[in-house]
Structure 1
Amino acid sequence: MNETLESLVNEVDGALAAAVVDLNTGLLLGAYHNIPYFTQSYVDAVGAAAVEMFRGKNISAVEKMLAAQRGEEVHHMIKEIQMTTDGTYHFMSIVPDKPDALLI
């Protein structure tokens, strides 16, 4: 998987990193980056933060409220997040046909 992520980073103009995270465990399934100061601890923390955005306590609480209002199950409704920082763009998406895998 790391080789596939490396190819992705190399093929996308301006890309700095890519990873796949298990949304159930928060563990990195694979990662590649071309930033020398990205430590393993940093990469792990980014993965954990991404899991929190998709499946965290607050998201789960909102889904429960929606389920109560709609009278139907609402579960894992966030599929993609895009955000920016001062100098970067970040894209996170559930991997098609792999509902517990998140591409960052």
Structure 2
Amino acid sequence: MSISGITNTALSGMRAQTPRIGAIANNVANSSTSGYARLNTSLTSVASGGVQATVSPTASDVDPATELTDLLQAEQSYKANAVVFETGADMWEMLMSIKRD
């Protein structure tokens, strides 16, 4: 895999966490609303590399412990993808430095 492929995959991972965190925030905000359908985020791999998020309502109730766990998981996933992206950017910078010399 190329450096740009690695950074693009990491970027898609970070982008996928945005709707996931939004769904979690929506679930917490509407946890007391009667008839509210909890939003669930599904992550699927994309053929070109990376991941895509799909948010859909479920029939389950909002559980604060589940939402907190999901939020922590989304945060860690975002951070891991950010580290990969930064490493890829550093590798790219090093490669350009070697090429100039």
TM-score tier (shorter): 0.3 to 0.5
Which structure is higher in helix share? 2
Under a length normalisation based on structure 1, what TM-score does the superposition of the two structures give? 0.31
Q: Which has the higher contact order (CA 8 A, sep 6+)?
A: 2
Structure 2-normalised TM-score? 0.32
Greater strand share, structure number: 1
